[in-house]
């Protein structure tokens, strides 16, 4: 059995695969739709996801993630995704990435922690993209189940705002889906 705490790469790859499938399903009519992440519509969320993939690869190879802008603008989203994903897959194949010191927008972390953090970001934005485009049925519930306790541990319920860039926790039923609970913890309305 894989040790997801010490080696988060398998879950990270699942998060990458999920995002890739959702990006591939986006239709031209979807691009201007709003997302639950208020700063992005579908077009800019895709651009942000391209940046996330580039940022984590740069961080895992010793660079500064902030050297890549928060949104990548391109007419070829899927081509850019596949190119950046191929580079990231090569980086992830090296076990040394788990111990690489990574400069991230929110701090400096070892590679394993950076990968876990980006798994959370990708999985949450997968929900944003799926919700905006009506494709919630394409989400991998195991990812949200895996991430929820980690997110609850590392993103405090209070305070929110300022250096904790999330809205207040949204109450949901105890039997809400894993993604609804994950989104609600991060201040999104499921």
Question: Which residues have a Cβ under 8 Å from the Cβ of 102 and sit 6 or more positions away?
Answer: 59, 60, 65, 108, 109, 110, 111, 113, 114
Query: Domain ranges in the chain?
Result: 9-154
pTM of the predicted protein model:
0.91
> What integer is the mean pLDDT of 26-44?
95
CA distance 133 to 127: 10
CA distance 89 to 104: 19
Quick: pLDDT tens for 125-157.
Answer: 999 999 999 999 999 999 999 999 988 888 777
Contact in structure between 59 and 91 (CB atoms under 8 Å): no
- Backbone torsion region of residue 101, taken as left when φ is above 0, otherwise alpha when ψ lies between -120 and 50, otherwise beta: beta
Topology of domain 9-154 in CATH is 1.20.120
To the nearest whole percent, how much of the chain has pLDDT over 70? Answer: 95
Quick: pLDDT tens for 158-174.
Answer: 877 766 577 888 999 98
Burial class (CB in 10 A: 0-12, 13-18, 19+), 124: buried
């Amino acid at each position: 059995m894989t040790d997801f705490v010490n080696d988060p790469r398998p879950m990270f790859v699942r998060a990458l695969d999920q995002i890739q499938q959702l990006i591939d399903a986006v239709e031209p009519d979807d691009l201007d739709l709003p997302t639950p992440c208020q700063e992005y519509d579908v077009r800019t969320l895709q651009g942000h996801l391209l940046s996330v993939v580039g940022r984590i690869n740069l961080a895992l190879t010793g660079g500064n993630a902030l050297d890549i802008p928060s949104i990548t603008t391109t007419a070829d989203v899927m081509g850019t995704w596949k190119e950046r994903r191929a580079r990231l897959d090569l980086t992830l194949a090296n076990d040394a990435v788990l111990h690489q010191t990574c400069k991230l927008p929110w701090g400096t972390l070892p590679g394993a922690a950076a990968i876990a953090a980006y798994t959370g970001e990708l999985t949450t934005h997968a929900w944003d993209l799926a919700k905006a485009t009506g494709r919630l049925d394409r989400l991998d519930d195991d990812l949200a189940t895996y991430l929820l306790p980690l997110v609850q541990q590392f993103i405090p319920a209070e305070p929110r705002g300022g250096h904790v860039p999330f809205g207040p926790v949204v109450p949901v039923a105890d039997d809400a889906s894993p993604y609804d609970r994950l989104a609600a913890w991060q201040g999104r309305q499921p």
